[in-house]
């Protein structure tokens, strides 16, 4: 499933401090080593000096050329911009890496291994390109996911980029610490880079997006885990990405949902659309799942990074009071309390079935 360990140069020029979700996820949760980060705006510092929570002392340098002196094996494209295109001024840096025979690892929608200039350079220098988001051929959704044995838990949220992947990785860690095997199912490019497998569901042809989700849940089930924790995507009232969210809700056939909320979000991403309240979110997510296979929200994972500790605690209390469910910030306060609260609630459910009188 996973090759020998990589040692990454992480490309995120001008973006590392604020906007490089992919880079941050791989540095924090990946098993690969970080040789250096490339971002002229932060050059001279370490990762820890810019973002302490990433807990890495890798150096930040100004160019791929400089990064080469830290012996990377691979160049990680460290962002996932809207629409997934490579920023044009990054091309030269990617070419420098290819000419140094680095493996290129990219989660962009744009397939770098279809770019004639990159392909030519890679052939000439013997470099390889891994387009993480390239989906395999998958069947349509079959319903086989309904027969999976362990409870399947899906992360859903009040918007995209609120921490659904992080919450599931933290809960998987808490399960492990509790002596249980929870299998994390990656559904997006950063999750795939971290876990070394998975399918970027947003890159699958719409008709097959539920089928692709089902296939990775079946793959996780073959490893005989106690729990299956599926990374979430988007949000159910996200004007652009909600269909990807629904693909996970029906394709993964979850038994339970963990609701991930950034309480500071008032609008959905770049849109005017208001985010939904806890109760509205629970009604929408449970309501939709309830038309196919019931699933309950078992807990709330809050992302309180933007809040003071006092306000964070108050917000967690408010979530508990409004929903009568366990709630916590698993990054700020650790995942164990929330995991211990929700694990006993994780049960196996059966899909709805029409009673049909034979004609």
| Stretch in the footprint of a copy of itself (CB under 8 A) among 89-97, 148-156, 238-246, 255-263 | 238-246
CB of 189 to a copy of itself, least distance (A): 11
The reply on whether position 185 binds a copy of itself by CB under 8 A is no
| Stretch in the footprint of a copy of itself (CB under 8 A) among 20-28, 47-55, 307-315, 347-355 | 347-355
- The two three-digit tokens of residue 327, written as one number: 């709630």
Considering the complex, state which of residue 125 and residue 134 has its C-beta at the smaller distance from a copy of itself.
134
- Return the ∠ at Cα 52 (arms to 46 and 55), rounded to 5°: 80
Q: How many residues make up the chain in this entry?
A: 359
Query: Rounded CA gap, 152 and 176, in Å?
Result: 16
According to CB under 8 A, which one of 22, 210, 215, 323 is a site residue for a copy of itself? 210
The reply on whether position 14 binds a copy of itself by CB under 8 A is no
Backbone φ and ψ for 300, nearest 5 degrees, come out as -115, 125
Q: Residue 92, exposed/middle/buried by CB under 10 A (0-12, 13-18, 19+)? A: exposed
Q: Residue 45, exposed/middle/buried by CB under 10 A (0-12, 13-18, 19+)? A: middle
Residue that the structure tokens 């992947």 belong to: 165
Backbone φ and ψ for 283, nearest 5 degrees, come out as -65, -45
The reply on whether position 206 binds a copy of itself by CB under 8 A is yes
Number of other residues whose CB lies within 10 A of the CB of residue 66: 16
CB of 211 to a copy of itself, least distance (A): 7
Considering the complex, state which of residue 46 and residue 273 has its C-beta at the smaller distance from a copy of itself.
273
According to CB under 8 A, which one of 49, 65, 71, 239 is a site residue for a copy of itself? 239
Considering the complex, state which of residue 100 and residue 240 has its C-beta at the smaller distance from a copy of itself.
240
Considering the complex, state which of residue 153 and residue 244 has its C-beta at the smaller distance from a copy of itself.
244
- The two three-digit tokens of residue 244, written as one number: 């990807």
Query: If we measure between CA atoms, which residue out of 276, 220, 280, 225 comes closest to residue 253?
Result: 220
Number of other residues whose CB lies within 10 A of the CB of residue 44: 10
The reply on whether position 240 binds a copy of itself by CB under 8 A is yes
| Stretch in the footprint of a copy of itself (CB under 8 A) among 46-54, 244-252, 313-321, 336-344 | 244-252
Query: Rounded CA gap, 298 and 260, in Å?
Result: 11
The reply on whether position 26 binds a copy of itself by CB under 8 A is no
Q: Residue 168, exposed/middle/buried by CB under 10 A (0-12, 13-18, 19+)? A: buried
Q: What would the x/- binding string for a copy of itself be over residues 272 to 301, using CB under 8 A?
A: xxxxx---x---x--xx--xx---------
Q: Residue 332, exposed/middle/buried by CB under 10 A (0-12, 13-18, 19+)? A: middle
Reduce the DSSP state of residue 137 to 3 states and report it: coil
According to CB under 8 A, which one of 93, 103, 170, 202 is a site residue for a copy of itself? 202
According to CB under 8 A, which one of 109, 164, 173, 296 is a site residue for a copy of itself? 109
CB of 232 to a copy of itself, least distance (A): 14
The count of residues interacting with a copy of itself (CB under 8 A) is 49
Q: Which residues of 204-214 are buried (b: 16+ CB within 10 A; e: fewer)?
A: beeebbbbbbb
Q: What would the x/- binding string for a copy of itself be over residues 69 to 108, using CB under 8 A?
A: -------------xxx------------------------
Q: Which residues, 133 to 162, sit near a copy of itself by CB under 8 A?
A: 139-141, 143
Query: Rounded CA gap, 93 and 114, in Å?
Result: 17
Considering the complex, state which of residue 6 and residue 164 has its C-beta at the smaller distance from a copy of itself.
164
Q: Which residues bind a copy of itself (CB under 8 A)?
A: 82-84, 109, 139-141, 143, 201-207, 209-211, 236-237, 239-244, 246-247, 250, 266-267, 271-276, 280, 284, 287-288, 291-292, 351-356
């Amino acid at each position: 499933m996973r090759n020998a360990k990589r040692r990454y140069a992480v490309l995120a020029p001008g973006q590392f401090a604020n906007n490089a979700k992919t880079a941050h996820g791989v540095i924090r949760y990946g098993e690969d080593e970080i040789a250096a980060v490339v971002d002229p705006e932060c050059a001279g510092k370490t990762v820890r000096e810019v973002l302490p929570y990433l807990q890495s002392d890798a150096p930040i340098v100004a160019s791929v050329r400089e990064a080469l002196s830290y012996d990377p094996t691979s160049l990680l494209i460290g962002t996932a911009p809207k629409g997934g295109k490579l920023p044009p001024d990054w091309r030269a840096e990617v070419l420098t890496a290819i000419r140094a025979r680095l493996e290129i690892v990219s989660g962009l929608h744009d397939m770098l291994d279809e770019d004639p200039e990159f392909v030519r350079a890679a052939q000439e220098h013997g470099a390889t390109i891994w387009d993480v988001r390239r989906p395999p051929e998958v069947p349509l959704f079959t319903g086989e996911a309904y027969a999976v044995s362990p409870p399947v838990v899906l992360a859903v949220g009040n918007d995209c980029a609120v921490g659904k992947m992080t919450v599931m990785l933290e809960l998987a860690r808490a399960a492990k610490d509790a002596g249980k095997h929870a299998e994390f199912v990656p559904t997006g490019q950063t999750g795939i880079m971290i876990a070394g497998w998975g399918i970027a569901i947003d890159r699958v042809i719409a008709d097959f997006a539920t089928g692709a989700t089902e296939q990775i849940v079946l793959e996780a089930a073959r490893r005989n885990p106690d729990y299956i924790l599926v990374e979430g995507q988007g949000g159910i009232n996200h004007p652009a990405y909600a269909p990807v969210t629904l693909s996970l809700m029906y394709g993964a056939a979850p038994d339970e949902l963990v609701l991930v909320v950034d309480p500071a979000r008032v609008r959905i991403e770049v849109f005017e659309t208001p985010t939904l309240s806890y109760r509205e979110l629970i009604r929408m997510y449970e309501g939709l799942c309830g038309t196919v296979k019931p699933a309950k929200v078992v807990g709330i994972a809050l992302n309180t990074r933007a809040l003071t500790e006092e306000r964070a605690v108050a917000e967690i209390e408010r979530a508990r009071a409004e929903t009568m469910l366990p709630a916590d910030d698993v990054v700020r306060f650790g995942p164990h309390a929330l995991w211990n609260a929700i694990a006993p609630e994780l049960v196996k459910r059966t899909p709805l079935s029409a009673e049909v009188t034979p004609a």
